[in-house]
Structure 1
Amino acid sequence: MRAFIIRTALTALALWIADLLVSGIRFDFGDNTSWWGKVGIYLLVAVVFGAVNAFVKPVVQILSIPLYILTLGLIHLVINALMLEITSWLTHNVFKVGLEVDNFFWSAILGALVISAVGWLTALVMRDTAQNL
């Protein structure tokens, strides 16, 4: 349970950083103006993003094995952008708040790149702190 909470918080952090850096990615908070409410929406989107990555992404990756070979792995970035688009669609249609992605090219791809980079950096930091404990 602890690992799930830490991973969700780090994913929410990555989504927040993507919101800050990529102009085509933003969060719709509805009528929620409190700081805690906004953090809750970031965490909600992080949980949905994690579920999409856990259930949909493996199927898409298996189906796109020929594209991985053909593009030498660069299709992975496009698949991550697709997962971001699916998360955006799900949060808006189910919860009426959440992630908004303007377009697939370039907002979703740059957002996926930022989220991947932040996730990689946090994984490095978490691995170093886990080894020091």
Structure 2
Amino acid sequence: MGRFILRLVINALALWLTTLLLGGHVAVVPFAPGDTLASVLTFLLVALIFGIVNGVIGNFVRIVAFPLYLLTLGLLALVVNGLLLLLVAWISSLFGFGLRVESFWWGVLGAVVLGLLSWLIGVLLRPLMGRRETR
């Protein structure tokens, strides 16, 4: 359970940094603007939605589209990740707050930046996650 919460915090932090880097094109709208706690909870909620969408729908799409991944040498992953980010934006907009993505290409760029930042933060926090390197 602790690893799940740490992974959720890593994704929320990566999402926050992504919104800072892409300034306005990919943004998170909190459910109570101006409230810091509401902003943090909104980032955590959007990270949870992203994790569920990526874990369920993302894995299904990657399995079904595996031949296309091979054919495009993995470039299809950029499109799929951008579409998944747009799906998260749509799902969170149903609640009246959450992720906002300006267009498909900003979604693709946002997914790339989010993935890189999540990976980098995960590498930096690996000792906290309790993973041991295998030799």
Q: When the two structures are superposed, what TM-score results if normalisation uses the length of structure 2? A: 0.89
Determine whether 1:112 maps to 2:98.
Answer: no
Deviates more, 1:95-104 or 1:77-86: 77-86
Q: Which amino acid aligns with 2:123?
A: L
> Which residue of 2 is the match for residue 26 of structure 1?
27
> Which residue of 1 is the match for residue 56 of structure 2?
55
CA RMSD of aligned residues (A): 1.6
Determine whether 1:126 maps to 2:125.
Answer: yes
Identity of aligned residues (%): 37
- 4+ residue runs over 6 A deviation: none
Partner secondary structure for residue 34 of structure 2: coil
Determine whether 1:3 maps to 2:11.
Answer: no
| C-alpha separation in 1, matches of 2:19 and 2:54 | 19
> Which residue of 1 is the match for residue 41 of structure 2?
40
Q: When the two structures are superposed, what TM-score results if normalisation uses the length of structure 1? A: 0.90
| C-alpha separation in 1, matches of 2:80 and 2:47 | 17
Instruction: For residue 118 of structure 1, report the CA deviation from its aligned partner.
Output: 0.7
Determine whether 1:16 maps to 2:23.
Answer: no
Structure 2 residues without counterparts, runs of 5 or longer = none
Partner secondary structure for residue 125 of structure 2: helix
Q: Which amino acid aligns with 2:93?
A: H
Q: How many residues align?
A: 130
From the superposition, tell whether residues 3 and 128 of structure 1 become closer, same or farther in structure 2 (CA, over 3 Å).
closer
Q: Which amino acid aligns with 1:25?
A: V
